[in-house]
Structure 1
Amino acid sequence: MGAFERVLMRAFGRPEGILGRLGGTVMARLNQPCAAWVIGLLEIRQHDRVLEIGFGPGAGIQLLAAAAPSGQVDGIDPSQEMLAQATARNAVAIARGRVGLRIGSVERLPFEDSTFDKVLAINSMQVWPDAETGLAAIRRAMKAGGAVALGFTTYSGQQPGGLIERLTAAGFVEAKLIETEKAFCVLAVKP
């Protein structure tokens, strides 16, 4: 990994330090429209239990808590800096017990089997150390009939090609790609 790639990872991939704080500010602003769009595609119900992988500065968590006002929203992210930003942004919902945020990785989700109705990740999968293991962990933590959405902005570095196949290989069904001018999302269901 070159110097430029290391800087990008410290700002956006695994945010830390001053670059991570700056990256969180940028992500909150630039990823929020994509998060809102993906949350709409997931058709969150008011009582859903939802997980966001790589919650970043917590803008998506905030939208999820509003979409599931009687539900539970959880998030996992490997960055201490993002945990701090997301905790500050969602302090009221956390205090009410409606939002739970943790440090961790998608490959080792600290949740019981069949916990979540919906799972999403925005501009996250492209920096997972092991996407196949991550998708298997997501599938394990989802309820049967639950939906997963992997959303990406055009500047994420992720390409849409092969994502449907990866979800299908991980045991998901009904995988489909939805694209707009500024973003794309792959949706699938746990059978």
Structure 2
Amino acid sequence: MKPSDRIERFVAAMNIQPTDRVLEIGCGHGVAAGLVCAALTTGSYVALDRSAKMIAAAAKRNAAFVDDGRALFVHAGMEAAELGRARFDKVFAMRVRLFQDEPERARELAERWLAPGGRVFVEYDAPGGAA
């Protein structure tokens, strides 16, 4: 399976609605960001990544969504990120090692940003398919 197929399948499973407020933890190159933002109309997307290089690449790849105010890319790790009062309908992470190594801690960190009724979506498989 191509990486883009895996990402498309994961994003489709979240059933993004046009008004959703979505947070991605560990956005990497921003492939999922484009898929999520394309489904949004009045909703919003925020991405976190601890790598400045990945944030720059993701923001560049999704410049149209940044320009229209639909997407925001934040250079911060999950543990240190400060998002103020922002709350999200859907929080998701793919291949974020903390969810594999310390799942309870990672989930607790992610849940602090959930809006009432919100959901966390996580997938972890090691690159190359081996877990």
The normalised TM-score by structure 1 is 0.60
How many residue pairs end up in the alignment?
130
The equivalent residue for 2:87 is 115
In structure 2, C-alpha distance between the alignment counterparts of 1:128 and 1:92, rounded to whole Å:
33
Q: Does 1:149 align with 2:118?
A: no
In structure 1, C-alpha distance between the alignment counterparts of 2:92 and 2:14, rounded to whole Å:
8
SS in structure 2 of the partner of residue 70 of structure 1: coil
1:140-188 deviations in Å (ceiling 9; x for gaps): 1001211111123463554xxxxxxxxxxxxxxxxxxxxxxxxxxxxxx
Name structure 1 gaps, 5 residues minimum.
1-29, 159-191
Structure showing greater relative contact order (alpha-carbon pairs closer than 8 Å, 6 or more residues apart): 2
Q: Which amino acid aligns with 1:107?
A: E
Q: Does 1:90 align with 2:76?
A: no
Q: Which amino acid aligns with 1:85?
A: A
Deviation at 1:113? Answer: 5.0
In structure 1, C-alpha distance between the alignment counterparts of 2:129 and 2:74, rounded to whole Å:
23
Correspondence 1:68-107 to 2 at 5 A: 68-107=40-79
In structure 2, C-alpha distance between the alignment counterparts of 1:149 and 1:75, rounded to whole Å:
14
SS in structure 2 of the partner of residue 105 of structure 1: coil
Name structure 2 gaps, 5 residues minimum.
none
Give the aligned CA root-mean-square deviation in angstroms: 2.4
Q: Does 1:39 align with 2:19?
A: no
| Structure of greater Rg | 1
Q: Which of the two has greater helix per residue?
A: 1
